[in-house]
Structure 1
Amino acid sequence: MSVSYMVSGFAVGLLVGLTGVGGGSLMTPLLTLLFGVSPSVAVGTDLAFASVTKIAGTAAHRSKGNVHWNIVKLLCLGALPAAVVTTFALKHFGGLGDEAAHIIRYSIAGSVFLTVIALIFRTRLQNWMAQHPNRQLHGGKLVFATILSGAILGTLVTISSIGAGAIGATILVLLYPRLTPAEIAGTDIAYAVPLTAIAALGHWWLGSIDWVLLATLLVGSVPGITLGSLVSRAIPEKILRVLLATTLTTVAIKLVF
């Protein structure tokens, strides 16, 4: 079983390194559906897994110049306080009901599909933005939209461990359409490090982290995300965009079904 965990960690880490997406969206369903881990433990363990894994990914992407730190800062301004508030809310209310969990999963799936559409039509979107610059957010409006998006992400990620990569990629593609796929991946991974770390600390406080499982997953994931991050810029943009769209489509289908 430990070998299966390591292989799963490597595969998810590689995808996250290449695309910035797939951590919680793939690992949490994998742990619950394939390995039979309880949902609460899967969420808590996956958040801790993501925080450590994405540190390695951020270092690799930073060395390649793929991280836009100004965007990372704005996302964190909204995400980190939201993660703290959500943790206390989970402690107070004792978790979420099944109905609310289903609504969240379908909302994330819809956002993921939006990302796929945005990636497929990215060139057309960029051309449209160039022809209609008045329709693109700028200045204070763009700053506010980014911070607000971060707050939504902080809430969703703390509740479900899903959304840091998938919805983060959606935000970056739609709000910052001129970013390359490699820059989307690097920036997406970088802001998720402090967010998943704070959310993981909250779940540690709630008692929902399996440390042995976490260590086994990390043995595979750290090499995987490092490799994916280092080669992401070397892969042609078209291939990386197709890989990202395919990964996101798989994530959305898993979330719905």
Structure 2
Amino acid sequence: MDIILLILAGFVIGTIVITLGGGGAAYYLGILTTIFGLGPASAAATSLVTAFPSLLIGSYSYFRLHKIHFKIAWRMILAAVPAVIVGSLVSPYIPEKIYSYIIGGILAYIGIQLLFESKQAPKQTGSAVAVIYGIIGGLMVGVGGLSGGGPIMAGLLVMGADMVTAAATSSLVLVTMTFVGICFHLQAGNVDWKVGIWIMLGAVLGSFLAPILLNRLNPAKFTKYVKPILGVLLVVMGGFTAFK
């Protein structure tokens, strides 16, 4: 029964991730801590490994469509990767209770961001914006085991990118950050493969089937209704993780 639930959870999240253009590690992290009872450190490492295949598939799809803005992507990557490394090196020394507060706080923050994000953010340009949001995303990956999609997408939208370009460019940044984060978390041996492998299988299936399902849906309406639901869930998961 647990295996079926794991695959189903991965499938649903994988499908939503491709639709919304995010990384999905926050959703995996919330499910792993609240439903399947993994500790914060193990859930953080497992969520990164679980999210990576979906990110890779999504990034390759955007690459084939020539939607990735490589110049901005590399600026963010150059800022994010050192932040991922620093966060990953520091995370094993954070006490578990403090780690729970950090994970819960990040989940709640992303949930609130989904609920209240502005559709018309003021446009800003320049390398500084890319660097700042890249560093924030990198720290989220290294310390929290998240994909860092929230700040990366926010930064791209602030710089004036449209949703498609932002999702495409974000996918390349997230793949790179997640890969670096996985390398460090694997060394620590925190990945729960018994749980992660089944969610990963479901997520890959969802990534492949998402385009077929989206042909039968209105993507704009789907995004409009799903985002606030996910936002509420992440806020609840964040509170549960921090204060359980």
Q: Fold conserved (TM > 0.5)? A: yes
Match of 2:169 among 166, 171, 187: 187
Deviation string for 1:189-213 (max 9, x for gaps)?
2211111111111111111012333
Shift of 1:250: 3.0
Q: Give me the whole-angstrom Cα distance separating, in 2, the residues matched to 1:108 and 1:167.
A: 13
Conserved? CA contact 1:80–1:198, under 8 Å: yes
What letter matches 2:78 in structure 1?
Answer: L
Match of 1:203 among 171, 185, 202: 185
Q: Give me the whole-angstrom Cα distance separating, in 1, the residues matched to 2:206 and 2:27.
A: 15
**Counterparts in 2 of 1:81-230, with a 5 A limit?**
81-91=82-92, 94-99=93-98, 101-103=100-102, 105-106=104-105, 109-119=108-118, 122=119, 125=120, 136-138=123-125, 142-162=126-146, 164-173=148-157, 175-180=158-163, 182-228=164-210
Equivalenced residues, count: 238
Shift of 1:87: 2.0
**Counterparts in 2 of 1:3-42, with a 5 A limit?**
3-21=4-22, 23-42=24-43
What letter matches 1:98 in structure 2?
Answer: K
Q: Give me the whole-angstrom Cα distance separating, in 1, the residues matched to 2:139 and 2:170.
A: 16
Deviation string for 1:47-104 (max 9, x for gaps)?
111222210121123333443323321221111111112222235xx23452464256
What letter matches 2:133 in structure 1?
Answer: S
Conserved? CA contact 2:73–2:172, under 8 Å: yes
- Structure 1 residues 229 and 20, CA, compared in 2 at 3 Å: closer, same or farther? farther
Task: Compute the RMSD of aligned alpha carbons.
Answer: 2.7
Q: Give me the whole-angstrom Cα distance separating, in 2, the residues matched to 1:237 and 1:221.
A: 19
Shift of 1:235: 5.6
Q: Which has the higher contact order (CA 8 A, sep 6+)?
A: 1
Question: Which runs of no fewer than 5 residues in structure 1 stay unpaired?
Answer: 130-135
Q: TM-score when scaled to structure 2? A: 0.83
Shift of 1:27: 0.8
